A and B are shown apart, each in its own frame.
Chain A
Amino acid sequence: MIKKWQVSLALVMIVLGVFLSSQFHTQQTITRELKYQKKEDLMALAMNLREKNLELMREEADLKNQLELLEKSANENSTLRQSIQAEIQKLDIALGLLPVQGQGITIIFPDSDPGVNNLVLLINELWNTGAEAIAVNDTRITDRTRFGIDRDTGLTTIDGQVISAPLIIKAIGPDTMYSGINLNGGILDKLKIYYSIKVEVKQADKIYIPAATTPPTVKFARPVKQ
């Protein structure tokens, strides 16, 4: 049985309910909006944020420093690598492992070879006067090159291969090579005068010399620790 007082009270309660939930909503919004927060809270919040900001700025500076250091060391590494590569290339050229080209001279014996001793003397003269790469009939001359004499024919051999006229010696190096072998009383004079061997010498801006076929081997020699 519904009493009269219950109806009126219920009506008021409905209004109160709407009122309450609206107030709850409003209060929630207030706690979320900065504008309606307490001054002290806002100050604490601002202080916190400022500190955090400072911290982050410091961290940023640190990271920038680190980045700079890393970039610097990377640059150093790359210059080091470049110089090492240049060094390796230089040594490869000296060992005859790379085909090379450059200014130099060509010595041609059109009719006969000058004999192994004279050939070695001539090549040594070229080395002495600054040759950087030498080839005889397109065989690269290195520290491993063997000169010899073929038993049956008495012809010169290089690395066991018989070479025959015309003999073409190519050398890359400075102009001193040309003047060195053409010295009065020098090796070419000796060949021309004593052996009456025909020799032609030409200077050229671009001479191509192939790589050696046998790579260097190091089996027994070890570097000495200092």
Chain B
Amino acid sequence: MWLPLLGLFTGFLIGQILNLSFPLDYAKYFSVALLAALDSIFGGIKGVLKDTYDGSILISSFFFNTLLAGTLAYLGDRIGVDLYYAAIFAFGVRIFQNLAIIRRLLLEKYRGHRSPKPDGEEEESL
């Protein structure tokens, strides 16, 4: 459980030390991409908790969704459709759903028993 957190910390530290930042004109698309990345991560965590985790799925979805989200937002701006907001909405909703499921699963684990699927709040991840 600690290795991923350590990874997150290390990554953050690397970013801070290298003082990385994105070009300002594209910051908007990178923020959508980051949202997609967060979505993938939470999906992955949910998978771990549900024992349906697949590393390759996570990695592929992480990079692919990120790239796609950024590209789509960029494309949307080019063609005059605010796909940016669509991406924010889609990923935002999913992140909240995934977080709710993760919370529930963690709570069940803590209680030490696993009830079979709780009521309809749960949905299929990627």
Chain A residues within 8 Å of B, Cβ to Cβ: 2, 4-27, 29-30, 33, 35-36
Closest to A15 in B: B11
By a CB distance below 8 angstroms, the chain B residues around A17 are 7-15
By a CB distance below 8 angstroms, the chain B residues around A36 are 24, 27
Contact assessment for B58 and A16 in the assembled complex, using a CB-CB cutoff below 8 Å: no
How far in angstroms is the closest Cβ of chain B from A31?
Answer: 11
How far in angstroms is the closest Cβ of chain A from B91?
Answer: 14
Known A13-B5, A14-B14; 7 more pairs at CB < 8 Å: A11-B59, A12-B40, A13-B8, A17-B15, A20-B11, A22-B22, A26-B27
Bound CA span A6–B47, Å: 12
Chain B residues within 8 Å of A, Cβ to Cβ: 1, 3-16, 19-22, 24, 27, 30-31, 33-34, 37-38, 40-41, 44-45, 48, 53, 55-56, 58-59, 62, 66
How far in angstroms is the closest Cβ of chain A from B4?
Answer: 4
Interface of B is mostly: helix
Ordered by A's residue number, 8 sampled pairs between the chains whose C-beta atoms are within 8 Å are A4-B55, A5-B48, A5-B55, A18-B11, A22-B21, A25-B21, A26-B21, A26-B24
By a CB distance below 8 angstroms, the chain B residues around A18 are 11-12, 14-15, 20
How far in angstroms is the closest Cβ of chain B from A204?
Answer: 95
Given A23-B31, A26-B27, A30-B27; A9-B15 close (CB under 8 Å): no
By a CB distance below 8 angstroms, the chain B residues around A30 are 24, 27
Contact assessment for B11 and A14 in the assembled complex, using a CB-CB cutoff below 8 Å: yes
By a CB distance below 8 angstroms, the chain B residues around A5 are 48, 53, 55
Closest to A35 in B: B24
Bound CA span A125–B54, Å: 136
How far in angstroms is the closest Cβ of chain B from A32?
Answer: 10
Bound CA span A6–B55, Å: 9
Contact assessment for B12 and A6 in the assembled complex, using a CB-CB cutoff below 8 Å: no
